[in-house]
Amino acid sequence: MIVSVTVNGEQRSASVFGSESLLVVLRDELRLAGSKNACEEGECGSCSVLLDGRLVCSCLVMAADTDGSTVTTVEGVAGADGSIHRVQQALLEAGATQCGFCTPGFVMAIVDLLEGEPHPGTADIGEALAGNICRCTGYGSIVRAVRRLADSSER
Amino acid sequence: MDAYLAPGLDEALGFLEEWPGATPLAGGTDLMVDVNAGRVRPDRVLSLRRVPELQDWEDGRIGAGVTWRRLQDAGHSALAQAARTIGSPQIRNAGTIGGNVGTASPAGDGLAFLAAADALIELASANDGRRVPWDEFFVGVKETTRRPDELITALVVPDDIPGRQAFGKVGIRSAMVISIVVCCVLRDNDGATRVALGSVAPTPMRARDAERMISEERRPSAAALDEFARLVAEEVRPITDHRSTAGYRRHAAGVLARRLLERVL
C-alpha cells in the first residue's frame, strides 16, 4: 500500500510492503538516515521523531498506520536558512557528542522537552531523557547542555 | 498485509465482524517489538489510533485508547504513579491502557492497579457489548477471554475504591524496565486493604490471605507487618526466567508489598 505522510513539512508518499516500521520507511525509502536504527524495541530512543507533534520511537510505529500523519525528524529541526537548531548548537558547545550515534534521538527528545517546559530542573531533564541511551555514557555533558538551554532561555 | 485505519468505533467493530481475529493496533509499543523481531507477522491489522470514542475518559470510565501520558494526571494516585513509571516519554506518548490490558503480559504495570481496583474490562463487538471483571478476563500468560470479534473499548474503575493508594515496582533501572515484581496497595480508613501483584504469576493476582489478615489490623504492629509480608510471599506463584529467579521474586514481593502498605497506613 502507499502511505502519504507530511515529513518535515513536505508531502511525501512511500510504498509499504508489510508491517515494517516508520523508521524503516524513513531510512530506506525516504532516505532520511538521521533517525538511527539500534534496538528496534523502543529501549534506546535513537530513532525518536515527532509523530503528529508527540515524541515517539519511530521503530514502534507501524508505517502503514502513518497515512495522513505529520512527522518531524532530526533533519527537520534546522532553521529555514539551514542553520542548526539551538539544541544542536548547545550539544555542540558542551561537547555532548562522542560517537554521535545517539545524538539525533537526544536532539528530538530535548526539543520536545523544551517545547513543553522551557526551564526544566535537573530531575525533569533526567526523566525526559530516560528513554534515550548513550552507549558512550556521555550523559553528563548532555545534561549540562540542556541545563544551559534551560537557564539561558528567557523567563 | 492489509491495514485498516478505522476512523470510528462502528467502522472498527464492523471490520472485526468481517475479519474476526484481525490484529488490533493501538500504540504499537508491544506489537511492533514482536514484529521487528520477526516473532509476529500480522496478516490483517486494525489501527485504532484515530478512533475518537476510544479517547473518551470520564470519571471512572477510561477509554482504551487513553495513553499513559494522559494517565499521568489520573485522579487515582496509584494509577498516576503507574503511568509515570511506565517505559519512557516516548513509550508513554504512544502506549495505551487498553493495549496494556489487551497484551495481558504478567508484567503489565497498569494491570496491578486495575486488579487492586476490581476494574471491569469493557468489550464491544458489532452485535453486543459486555463488562467483564478483571479476574475473568486475564486467564493466562498473554491470554484473555476477549473474543476475536471484540475490541476492548474501556476500563471501568469503580468509584468506591480506597483512597489511600500506593504503587511500586522492582526492576533493574527506573525507566524502560520490565518489572521483576509490580505491586499496588489500596487501603480504606477502616483498614480494609487490597494488594495486587504482577510479574509473579501467569496473570495479575490479588494476595487474598494477606489482605484478610491485614484488613483486621487497624494499627499493625511490626510483627503484623512481618506476617503480612510472609503471607504475600507465600501466595505469589513466580517462575525463574532470564529477568529474575522465583526465589528473588517471592522475597521481593513480600518486601515491596510491606513497604507500600506502610506508605498507606
How far is A123 from A111, CA to CA, in rounded Å? Answer: 17
Report whether pLDDT(B134) > 70: yes
What does pLDDT average to over chain B? 97
Nearest to B29 among A20, A42, A68 (CB): A42
CB of B159 closer than 8 Å to CB of B60: yes
How far is B153 from B158, CA to CA, in rounded Å? Answer: 16
Classify residue A75 by burial, with Cβ atoms within 10 Å: 0-12, 13-18, 19+: middle
Confidence of residue B175 (pLDDT cuts 50, 70, 90): confident
How far is A44 from A142, CA to CA, in rounded Å? Answer: 15
* B41 Cβ under 8 Å from any chain A Cβ: yes
Distance from CA of B239 to the nearest CA of A (A): 24
Where b means 16+ CB within 10 Å and e means fewer, B139-151 reads eeeeebebeebbb
Closest residue in chain A to residue B92, using alpha carbons only:
A56
Q: Is B164 helix (H, G, I), strand (E, B) or coil?
A: strand
> Cα angle vertex B213, ends B212, B215, to 5°?
65
Closest residue in chain B to residue A17, using alpha carbons only:
B1
On chain B, the residues whose CB falls within 8 A of the CB of A70 are: none
On chain A, the residues whose CB falls within 8 A of the CB of B93 are: 54-56
Confidence of residue B71 (pLDDT cuts 50, 70, 90): very high
Confidence of residue A154 (pLDDT cuts 50, 70, 90): low
* CB contact (8 A) between residue B42 and residue A19: yes
Nearest to B41 among A19, A45, A128 (CB): A19
* B39 Cβ under 8 Å from any chain A Cβ: no
Nearest to A59 among B27, B32, B174 (CB): B32
Nearest to B93 among A40, A56, A59 (CB): A56
Closest residue in chain A to residue B40, using alpha carbons only:
A19
Where b means 16+ CB within 10 Å and e means fewer, B182-218 reads bbbbbbeeeeebbbbbbbbbebbbbbeebbebbbebe
Please enumerate in sequence order all residues whose Cβ is within 8 A of that of B29, keeping only pairs 6 or more positions apart, or say none.
A42, A57, A60, B87, B91, B94, B95, B99
Report whether pLDDT(B4) > 60: yes
CB of B228 closer than 8 Å to CB of B215: no
On chain A, the residues whose CB falls within 8 A of the CB of B27 are: 60
How far is B251 from B234, CA to CA, in rounded Å? Answer: 9
Amino acid at B15: F
Closest residue in chain A to residue B87, using alpha carbons only:
A131
Report whether pLDDT(B228) > 80: yes
On chain A, the residues whose CB falls within 8 A of the CB of B42 are: 19
Tens-place pLDDT, residues B150-172: 999 999 999 999 999 999 999 98
Chain A interface, best mutation among B1, B31, B32, B68, by max A CB count within 10 A: B32
CB of B153 closer than 8 Å to CB of B52: no
How far is B8 from B243, CA to CA, in rounded Å? Answer: 40
* B37 Cβ under 8 Å from any chain A Cβ: yes
Confidence of residue A153 (pLDDT cuts 50, 70, 90): low
Tens-place pLDDT, residues A94-103: 999 999 999 9
Report whether pLDDT(A155) > 70: no
* CB contact (8 A) between residue A60 and residue B27: yes
Report whether pLDDT(A64) > 70: yes
User: Given this model, what pLDDT does residue B176 score?
Assistant: 87
What does pLDDT average to over chain A? 95
* CB contact (8 A) between residue A42 and residue B5: no
* B46 Cβ under 8 Å from any chain A Cβ: no
> Cα angle vertex B62, ends B265, B107, to 5°?
65
Confidence of residue A78 (pLDDT cuts 50, 70, 90): confident
The three three-digit cell numbers of residue B248, written as one number: 528473588
How far is B207 from B123, CA to CA, in rounded Å? Answer: 26
User: Given this model, what pLDDT does residue B152 score?
Assistant: 98
Amino acid at B18: E
The three three-digit cell numbers of residue B48, written as one number: 485504532
Percent of chain B with pLDDT over 90: 98
Report whether pLDDT(B195) > 80: yes
* CB contact (8 A) between residue A55 and residue B31: no
Tens-place pLDDT, residues A129-149: 999 999 999 999 999 999 999
Tens-place pLDDT, residues B99-128: 999 999 999 999 999 999 999 999 999 999
* CB contact (8 A) between residue B28 and residue A62: yes
Percent of chain A with pLDDT over 90: 92
Tens-place pLDDT, residues A116-132: 999 999 999 999 999 99
* CB contact (8 A) between residue B35 and residue A62: yes
Nearest to B93 among A43, A54, A130 (CB): A54
DSSP state of A136: T
Q: Is A41 helix (H, G, I), strand (E, B) or coil?
A: coil
Distances (CA, A) of B104 to A104, B30, B84, B149: 33, 10, 19, 17
Can you give the C-alpha Rg of chain B in angstroms?
18
Please enumerate in sequence order all residues whose Cβ is within 8 A of that of B30, keeping only pairs 6 or more positions apart, or say none.
B95, B99, B103, B105
Classify residue B84 by burial, with Cβ atoms within 10 Å: 0-12, 13-18, 19+: middle
CB of A125 closer than 8 Å to CB of A139: no
Percentage helix, strand, coil for chain B under 3-state DSSP, each rounded to 5: 35, 25, 40
* B172 Cβ under 8 Å from any chain A Cβ: no
Confidence of residue B248 (pLDDT cuts 50, 70, 90): very high
Please enumerate in sequence order all residues whose Cβ is within 8 A of that of B130, keeping only pairs 6 or more positions apart, or say none.
B122, B123
